Each structure stands twice: as C-alpha cells, then as structure tokens.
Structure 1
Amino acid sequence: MSAGKKGDCFKNAGSNVYKKIMQEWRILENNLPESIFVRVYEGRIDLLRAVIIGAQGTPYHDGLFFFDFAFPSDYPNNPPLVHYHSHGLELNPNLYDNGYVCLSLLNTWSAEETEMWNPTGSTVLQALVSLQALVLNEKPYYNEPGYEEPSSGDWDLDSAEYNGEVFGLSCKTMMFLIDNPPKNFEAFVKDHFCERANVILAACRAYIEGRARVGYYDGSPSSPCTVDVSREFKGTMEALYPNLEVAFNRNAASKSA
C-alpha cells in the first residue's frame, strides 16, 4: 500500500479506521476521568494529545504528564504509538527518558495475551487509565521487572527512597512545563500550576521536614516530624525548592499580566 493510500484512511469518513477513531473520540468524550484531559485534531485525526494529572497518594501528585498518541493506518488491528514527554527525565521504570512507553496494553511489553492489545475490545481510554493507575502509581519502584513488593523489609525502604527521587524529578518536570508548555495546552498548564502551586510547595516543605511521607501530604501544617528523611533527598529538595517557587511566581505573574 502506498503512503498516500495509507493517509487516505484518516480522511475518508467511510473507512474502518476513520469510523473507529470517531468511536474512540465518543468514548473519551463521555468517559474520561476528571484527572485526564485530551485534545484531538479534526485536521489530523490520526493524532491525539493527552495529559494526566498525578494522583494524590503517589509521588506524582499534582504533576502534569503529557502523552502523544499516533494511530496506525491499520488501527485498531495494532495499538496506537504512544510517546511520553519526558524532558530527558526518567521518573518511572515504564517511561523512558527518550519518551518510550513500556506497557503491555500497547504491545510494548511482553505479557499474557489477555493483557495485550485486543483489536476488538481495547481502547485509548483503557490505555490512558492504565497509564494513570498502573504506571503513575503509589509505588513505581515495583514496576521494575523482577521487583516484587514484599509485605515488609528493606525493599520498602528502597521504594520510599525511589519515591523521593521521583518526586524531585516531577518537580523538575513542573518547572520545564511552565517555561515550555505543550502546544494547545498553554492555558491549561498555566491555570493548573496557579491553582496547585501553594499545595505543591507546602508538600515539599512537609517532605523535607519529615512531616509526611512522599506522596501523602494531607495539607496539615502541624503534623509531627516522624518520617526519616535521607540527607540526599533533603539536599535535592532544598536545592529545588527556591527554583520551583520562582517558577510558580513567574507563572502566576504571567497569568495576571
């Protein structure tokens, strides 16, 4: 099949690919969780951009994580290609610093057949929810192949340390997004960080001072210091904090200008 004919399937309203993508749009419109937002393009229906807001109770809380989807010309026989906006940072075993997304539902990781892409049943919505729930989760350390979560022990300490590293990388991602918001999401990024800046900064202080475990800041300003904080994490966050504060202030100033 020529390249031209491959492209025709995205413009021909009668093609199976076109109809399937329109069905995907309807599913997303009616079923997206409140913490996932999607932008589609009428002129390029083969492309889609999504952002996931990091969930509370995870080291990704309040962060923004962008993914680009590209539908293949034989969709849905094969899953969409997905690229993560990593900004050169690797904050999850499933999200590489080159943007590669490792997920069985996308056929980018080997798994049982029931976990792989199913042309008759799998959807973009399922992929997005999987990214939010299975990848950007509470203990991403155990996403690493061969790392199984124990009931207790030293590996829990490793997981906690990894969460600290992840939160620091998430903060760096926030700063990058403020200065370089993805196209068509400029206002979204600005508004999100204007709304959540104070909470994020308060969480940073709580984590530095050991008043909350990373990911579990509950907004309380007077929690006792009961969490052991590594010297490395404390040093990293104390260096990041003023830069993050400046970025948030700059973002707020640009919104009110």
Structure 2
Amino acid sequence: MASGEIDETNGIDTAEAETKQFDIVTDHSDHHYANLNPSSEDQDSTFTNAGSSVRKKIMQEWNILKNNLPDTIFVQAYEGRIDLLRAVIIGPAGTPYHDGLFFFDLAFPSDYPNQPPLVYYHSHGLRLNPNLYAKGYVCLSLLNTWHGNEEEMWNPSGSTILQVLLSLQALVLNEEPYFNEPGYEKFREMPETQKISNNYSEEAFMLSCKTMLFLLQKPPKNFEDFVAQHFLERADVILRACKAYADGHMRVGYYQDDGSSSTSTTVEVSSNFKQSMDKLYADLETAFNKNKDSMQEKSEEMKETACAEPQQTMEVH
C-alpha cells in the first residue's frame, strides 16, 4: 500500500468485512503519543521531509510490517502522523492470554532508529503480566526498558518494529508469565513454585477477561469493527474455556477450540478463583450477547440502506 492510500469498504456487511493486517487510517486523536511530536505535521519535520533519513527508515518499517505480519498481529499507521503506530496482538493459544486482544501504541523518536520506539500498553489499569504495567509501561530488553545481554538490546542497524511485536507476543504473552519475573526462572522445577505459577496464570486469565470487557465497552479508535468481530467469532470458545478452568477440568491456558485439553490432569481450583470466574462468565456472556445484537442491528441497517438506494437501469434503444 502506498503512503497515504486509504481503502474504504462501503455497503458490505460488517461480518464480511476483512480487517487488513497493515492499514493506514486518519484519526489518531486517542493515540497515547498523539502530542509527543507536535511538529511532526510541519513540512520541514524530520517525519514529513521526503529527504529525511528518519522518514525513509519508517517507510521501510511500513513495508516490513505490510509483508511479514503473522495473522495474529494487526497494525495501523496514520496518514498524517507517520511517527505513530497502533498494534493489536491476539493472545496466543496455549497461554493464559488466549483469545484476548492486547493493544499497544508506538511512537518513533525523532532520531529513529538510533533510539528504539516508545511503546505504551493499553492496560485499562490492570497488570496482567510482569512486563506490562498497570500504567502502560512495557518492560522489554529490546526497547531498552530492561537491562539484558547486548544481543537482546535495541540495535539501530538491525532491530525493527516487527521484531518488537513478535517479542511481545512470544516472550511476554507466554505460557507461564510468572517466570517473566527477573530471577524466577531458576526456581521453575520446584513444586511449590509451579503452584504459584499456576495461580499467577489464573489471575492473568481473569485480568485478560476483564480487559475483554473494557474493550467491548470502549474499543480503540479505528479498531471498533475488529474488536466486535473478533469477540463475535470467539465468544463461545472463551465462555467454554472460562467454565472449564473454573471447574478444574484443566489448567489455565490448556483449553483448545474443540473443548479438549492438552493434558488429562484435573487441577485444584481455589474458591476465590471459581467465584471470580463465575462472575466473569456472567459479565462476559452479557457483553458478548450485547455485542452480537449490536452487530446484527448494524448489519440490518446497512442492508436496508443498500436496498433503499436507487438502482441504475440500462436503457434499451
């Protein structure tokens, strides 16, 4: 897609509209870094000057994202603010974050790529991972927000935005997030530590479910249809997983789409977890039904509008 090119889908049922892996939109008003580079829209800005090395590098990043994003990560750039990006990662299967949506706002610094991008996580005030703070701070060596080995840190000559997103998906939103805490990995084989890890995963799943409720109530701009469609498609699976985890049929993260588990071992469930999940189940069911009704109403309105439009006929002479 060329810079500034915007595709619009008109007259298509929202259930049939397909969200592009990489798209360009116009409204950046709710972006966390919208006021970071106030001169970025000026003609002499490093972001708008056609000869700027920063602009050229960002355009390269756009092409990398357009051609290489996995089908579980979606990115939107902004026509008038190329220094900003918004990404959503679908929670990976086999983790406490499965089927959740996790939004990140990114901003290119004016000396990019000498410095890594700024990344803000839309937490809704919840800390569901050791690397993702309640105030949106993202702790990751690749972003230079956590010390690590030299090869793990940002490399101006080789690191990319795609690499950042893949790291967030694979290293942060992983199967056992408890061990993301510094120094905890060495205790992985201890039985008591494994139980604590399981409890942490239960909490992470509950917070992921709460994040779903926040997103359904107020989705990020330009992703409204995406959020609605995702939860329309995944509602039943999410609810079945909630029930399976609450009843102790399987460990959190092990539920599969067909209702089976990758382990046959039942797990002990605390009364607090079961009560919390029962409440979340009811809240999610209500929110999913409301989302479904809203999408059906929108679809009917679009069909009525299409039918009401005058049809052109060919004159025969």
Give the TM-score of the pair, scaled to structure 1.
0.95
- For 1:118-139, what per-residue CA distance to the aligned partner results, in whole angstroms no more than 9, with x for missing partners? 0000000000000000000000
- Partners of 2:265 and 2:247 lie apart in 1 by 6
Distance 1:6 1:156, change over 3 A: same
Of 242, 245, 251, 2:282 maps to 242
Q: Counterpart in 2 of 1:96?
A: 133
Give the helix-richer structure, 1 or 2. Answer: 1
Q: Counterpart in 2 of 1:121?
A: 158
- For 1:130-173, what per-residue CA distance to the aligned partner results, in whole angstroms no more than 9, with x for missing partners? 00000000000011112115224110100000000000000000
Q: Counterpart in 2 of 1:192?
A: 230
Is 1:229 the counterpart of 2:262? The answer is: no
Is 1:150 the counterpart of 2:197? The answer is: no
Amino acid at match of 1:248: F
Amino acid at match of 2:279: A
- Partners of 1:110 and 1:24 lie apart in 2 by 25
Q: Counterpart in 2 of 1:133?
A: 170
| Structure 1: stretches of 5+ with no match in the other structure | none
Whose Rg is larger?
Answer: 2
Of 217, 223, 226, 2:255 maps to 217
Amino acid at match of 1:65: F
| Structure 2: stretches of 5+ with no match in the other structure | 1-36, 298-317
User: SS in structure 1 opposite 2:85?
Assistant: strand
Counting only pairs closer than 5 Å after superposition, residues 1-257 of structure 1 correspond to structure 2 as 4=39, 8-148=45-185, 149-221=187-259, 226-257=266-297
- Partners of 1:222 and 1:48 lie apart in 2 by 37
- Partners of 2:286 and 2:40 lie apart in 1 by 50
In the alignment, is the contact (CA less than 8 A) between 1:209 and 1:225 conserved in 2? no
In the alignment, is the contact (CA less than 8 A) between 2:142 and 2:152 conserved in 1? yes
Stretch moving more, 146-155 or 40-49: 146-155
**Between the two proteins, what is the percent identity of the paired residues?**
66
In the alignment, is the contact (CA less than 8 A) between 2:126 and 2:207 conserved in 1? yes
How many residues get paired?
256
User: SS in structure 1 opposite 2:74?
Assistant: strand
Distance 1:44 1:179, change over 3 A: same
Distance 1:255 1:23, change over 3 A: same
Distance 1:70 1:227, change over 3 A: same
